[in-house]
Structure 1
Amino acid sequence: MTMPVRRTEGGRRRFSLRATALDCGLIALAVCILGFALRTAAAAAERRPVWMVILCLLAAACVRVLRRERRHVSAARAARRAAAALEAGTGTALEELTAPGVPVASPPVPHQPGPRDAAASPATGEEATLVQPVDYDAPIDYDALDPDEFEQAVAVLCERDGCAGVEVVGGAGDLGADVLAVAPDGRRVVIQCKRYAEGHRVGSQDLQRFGGTCYTVHEADVAALVTTSDFTAPAVEYAAQCGILCLDRAALQAWSDGTGPAPWTVAEVTAEEFTC
């Protein structure tokens, strides 16, 4: 008589101590490798942030593999794949860290002041710009310059002809002064620059604003207004009363070419002789 074989309920697999121990061992190995990888990643984060990102991506890939094959692959096989991926990533990171000749980022070089760096004008406290190094022999096309470049060009002429401490102080709050310098004979030179188009002449109001500050505020010994245009008759009359030199386009060109005098060479008077 044949005895029927009794099946287990639900078709469940019998418990295997050996298989369970193997699974636990592989998982423990994976955890150890993962801990070592995280420790290595923490040490490498300061030197190689890119490899830290790579390790994180590898970890994310392992999690994705475990989720995808959770229903089709045994836990032991998934653990082996995760361990292999982590081990490969850790080895690559260690090779990169221990490779000879790894460049190390240099600290930023502190800025060194140059000829264009700002400085404070001792007269007004406003921001001043030192004169740019230029070729003194190169001709200057004043019509092609904007107002700021024109101020720089006049400052270059002062420096070329022997002035010291030349500064460009034009801008908001300049109180009428665009260029400050000390003439070769020690007198203080204050120049206002007017980059006007031909036909736009400098009027008496421009001279009055300059005359109200050039001597009292800037303590000028020589005050001059230089323009690429011309002056109106009232402006010239006011300048003569206040001892302000007027250099029109022709005088500026002669000074630039070296065929005419610099302002301080023709200024023989001082502010005390005038009432402005």
Structure 2
Amino acid sequence: MARTTMRAYFNLAILVAGLELLAIGVWFVLEGARIDQSDTMMVGYITGAALLASAIWLGGYRPRHDEFVEPADDTALREAKARLDRMDPARLAEHVADLCERDGLADVETVRVVEDAYAVDIHAKRGDGSLAVVRCRSTEGPGPVAGGVVEDFVTALDADLDRAGPVLLATTAGCFSAKAAAIAASAGVVLLDRGALAHWECDKETPASLAA
């Protein structure tokens, strides 16, 4: 839900105060020039300054609804990451499949990966009809996802001649190794670590490659 931030309100207060001080200064300058200025006219100056400040703020400072999406708070993200840490491959695949269905992908199905006991693939159709493949791989221990994991995924993809559409690798790990990132980049594989999955769940930040 969109909202006006406290910083935007602070900008409004500064703008109003500045223009009202300017209006009061103009009143005193005119008084010093011996131009008759009544107290009523000062009130008019101040009111006019406040209205002008509000108009400027509405036009430039206040965030528009289509520019601001309220992010999930840190507690929600921490809880999401903690849940991901406890997921085995099957549960991770169910979770990602639920996210795909929530975000409008069709014909979502899970496919067990025979050659990797820690992985489950998800096949889903995007809005343009192309098939997206998401490999869900849970990890053991705090280390990053190794390059070999991504390499095996790319090899399996290369063997699938009918594949068309984006491919992603989602994991419960907190990061990927430099080698894994390099292999993924050269093969066009989108990597989603635990943090990215938590944001997908809590902030509804659908990976761009799935949102066609």
Normalising by structure 1, what TM-score?
0.42
Structure 1 residue 177, shift from structure 2 partner: 6.0
| Cα distance change of structure 1 residues 197 and 263 upon mapping to structure 2, 3 Å threshold | farther
Match of 1:212 in 2: 155
Amino acid at match of 1:180: H
Structure 1 residue 174, shift from structure 2 partner: 7.8
Q: Secondary structure at the residue paired with 2:156? A: coil
Q: 2-side partners of 1:252 and 1:215: how far apart?
A: 25
Residue 172 (structure 2) pairs with residue 251 (structure 1): no
| Cα distance change of structure 1 residues 220 and 205 upon mapping to structure 2, 3 Å threshold | farther
Residue-pair matches, total: 129
Residue 186 (structure 2) pairs with residue 241 (structure 1): yes
Match of 2:133 in 1: 190
Question: Are 1:214 and 1:220, in contact at CA under 8 Å, matched by a contact in 2?
Answer: no
Match of 1:180 in 2: 123
Match of 1:147 in 2: 89
Amino acid at match of 2:202: D
Question: Are 1:226 and 1:246, in contact at CA under 8 Å, matched by a contact in 2?
Answer: yes
Structure 1 residue 198, shift from structure 2 partner: 5.3
Q: Secondary structure at the residue paired with 1:178? A: strand
Q: 1-side partners of 2:101 and 2:158: how far apart?
A: 22
Residue 102 (structure 2) pairs with residue 160 (structure 1): yes
Q: Secondary structure at the residue paired with 1:221? A: coil
Q: 1-side partners of 2:167 and 2:210: how far apart?
A: 12
Residue 177 (structure 2) pairs with residue 232 (structure 1): yes
Matching residue within 166, 176, 194 for 1:222? 166
Q: 1-side partners of 2:108 and 2:201: how far apart?
A: 17
Structure 1 residue 237, shift from structure 2 partner: 0.6
Structure 1 residue 244, shift from structure 2 partner: 0.4
Structure 1 residue 262, shift from structure 2 partner: 2.2
Structure 1 residue 266, shift from structure 2 partner: 7.1
Amino acid at match of 1:238: I
> Which of structures 1 and 2 has the larger relative contact order (alpha carbons within 8 angstroms, sep 6+)?
2
Question: Are 1:224 and 1:263, in contact at CA under 8 Å, matched by a contact in 2?
Answer: no
- The percentage of counterpart residues that share the same residue type is 32
Question: Are 2:127 and 2:211, in contact at CA under 8 Å, matched by a contact in 1?
Answer: no
Q: 1-side partners of 2:142 and 2:116: how far apart?
A: 26
Structure with the largest fraction of helix: 2
Structure 1 residue 259, shift from structure 2 partner: 4.4
Q: 2-side partners of 1:167 and 1:265: how far apart?
A: 15
Amino acid at match of 1:224: L
Residue 206 (structure 2) pairs with residue 261 (structure 1): yes
| Cα distance change of structure 1 residues 245 and 266 upon mapping to structure 2, 3 Å threshold | farther
Q: 2-side partners of 1:235 and 1:206: how far apart?
A: 8
Q: 1-side partners of 2:91 and 2:102: how far apart?
A: 16
Normalising by structure 2, what TM-score?
0.54
Q: Secondary structure at the residue paired with 1:214? A: helix
CA distances 1:65-121 after superposition (whole Å, capped 9, x unpaired): xxxxxxxxxxxxxxxxxxxxxxxxxxxxxxxxxxxxxxxxxxxxxxxxxxxxxxxxx
Match of 2:63 in 1: none
| Cα distance change of structure 1 residues 168 and 192 upon mapping to structure 2, 3 Å threshold | same
| Cα distance change of structure 1 residues 204 and 248 upon mapping to structure 2, 3 Å threshold | same
Amino acid at match of 1:241: S
CA distances 1:22-51 after superposition (whole Å, capped 9, x unpaired): xxxxxxxxxxxxxxxxxxxxxxxxxxxxxx
Q: 2-side partners of 1:239 and 1:189: how far apart?
A: 16
